[in-house]
Amino acid sequence: EEHLAALTAAPRDMWAQVRSSLKIQAEDALEAVEGAAFFVSLDSEPAGLTREDPAASLDAYARALLAGRGHDRWFDKSFTLIVFSNGKLGLSVEHSWADCPISGHMWEFTLATECFQLGYSADGHCKGHPEPSLPQPQRLHWDLPEKIRLSISLALRGAKTLSGNIDCHVFPFSHFGKSFIKRCHLSSDSFTQVALQLAHFRDRGEFCLTYESTMTRLFLEGRTETVRSCTREACNFVRAMEDKEKTEPQRRALFRLAVEKHQALLKAAMSGQGVDRHLFALYIVSQFLHLRSPFLDQVHSEQWQLATSQIPVQQIHLFDVHNYPDYVSSGGGFGPADDHGYGVSYIFMGDDTITFHISSKKSSTKTDSHRLGQHIEDALLDVASLFQEGQRPKPRCRGLPEEDSGHRGSCLPCHKRGSKATTKSTNF
């Protein structure tokens, strides 16, 4: 029973077959789990930022939220609330029911309510009084025949292999943030996306198909569309940055062109003029009609080696982020979309910090999350120097505090207290 949830990390066809058996053998218990609003995991190990090794502990924190131990998350559930033994907590979110702005807003609302409305007593306990009329927890009874037990063991082995293969790296970039970018009269998202192209090229020595998700919520039931950030304009800028013969004015002009192109693609995607959802629909229709299209086959087979997303902040006003910057969420991350690719998400925390969440697979000889993180930092500084008369922004600490304040409920803290993050679970 302890490892039952590992089945939700198994391939879908295998889990579907075992689930059919479970509906017969343990219908009431399965219905109780699947009918719940969300799943709560009480982890037996502590997590969070530590004074002894802040960088490594932050990475381990992110990995624990993303993958767990393979059997302590019910991955089918809309979200799993993960509570570690030292009171730290975070989320693992299943993606099909909602996109990042929804789960992110939910977590920001939780953070703001906890800090500014509910609060804690002087000794660290939650304010308020217990509700004695609530029913006591009841143990679920599972009748697991040997065949299902074997399936659980097999699923657990596969889940541990997958979770152990994830390489997570989280770092707050605190040299500058959106306030500096705005002073350059540039879009902060486009600035970051073009800088990511430079960082990835330095990491791999080549350009790659790049995915950035954007919202189509202008439309009824709109979800997402893809912005293909690796444009000709971005490539021209990257080549210029690596060409010693190019001058800073030339590089700056090419950078502005790349940003303008990205902005145009972003606006087109948000207004329903993207191409990827259209191509996907055509592919599905071709499969349904048993029509082979070499063009659609090629499009469908292309791998996104760089999957990116910006985490939205303060979609509605919850509190004054300028007066309380330490309570801004530090975002969340997701797994890579390709065996030899990266997953990169970022969030603008206040005016002067950008926190990056980078993931890749340890089994790949082509990727290294920490290496890409260093390239991202260098690329951002190099781009910023184009707008500061050749001077890099003054180096500062990479954003990690000296110690963890121990604030209850914090998740991936990057400041002195209260920072939190959601971490989305994906197929990795």
Query: Which of 349, 338, 345 is CA-nearest to residue 376?
Result: 345
Whether the pLDDT of residue 364 is over 70: the answer is yes
Delimiting residues of CATH 3.30.559.10 domain(s) in the chain: 167-424
Whether the pLDDT of residue 82 is over 80: the answer is yes
Whether the pLDDT of residue 120 is over 70: the answer is yes
Question: Which of 95, 300, 340, 370 does the annotation list as catalytic?
Answer: 95
What is the rounded average pLDDT of the residues 419-427? 39
CA 33 to chain centre: 26
Delimiting residues of CATH 3.30.559.70 domain(s) in the chain: 4-164
What is the rounded average pLDDT of the residues 21-42? 92
pLDDT at 391: 52
- Rounded to 5°, the CA angle 427-306-191 comes to 130
pLDDT at 414: 36
266-315 residue pLDDT tens: 999 999 999 999 999 999 999 999 999 999 999 888 999 999 999 987 77
Spatial CB neighbours of 98, under 8 Å, sequence gap ≥ 6: 78
Higher pLDDT, 115 or 416: 115
pTM (2 decimals)?
0.87
**Chosen CATH of 167-424 out of 3.30.559.10, 3.30.450.40, 3.40.50.300, 3.20.20.70:** 3.30.559.10
* 95 catalytic per annotation: yes
Question: Which pair of tokens denotes residue 313?
Answer: 């902040």
pLDDT at 331: 85
Residue located via tokens 């559930």? 77
In the structure, what pLDDT confidence band is assigned to residue 35 with cuts at 50, 70 and 90? very high
- Rounded to 5°, the CA angle 135-136-138 comes to 115
140-188 residue pLDDT tens: 999 899 999 999 999 999 999 999 999 999 999 999 999 999 999 999 9
Distance CA(180)–CA(173), nearest Å, equals 13
39-62 residue pLDDT tens: 999 999 999 888 888 889 999 999
pLDDT at 22: 92
Q: 12-25 vs 146-164: helix axis angle to the nearest 10? A: 140
Distance CA(383)–CA(393), nearest Å, equals 10
What 8-state DSSP symbol labels residue 361? Answer: E
Strands 79-83 and 39-42: parallel
Higher pLDDT, 189 or 88: 189
CA 164 to chain centre: 18
Angstrom distances, CA of residue 394 to CA of 37, 174, 382, 388: 48, 10, 12, 11
CATH topology of domain 4-164: Chloramphenicol Acetyltransferase (3.30.559)
Distance CA(319)–CA(314), nearest Å, equals 9
Strands 224-228 and 210-215: antiparallel
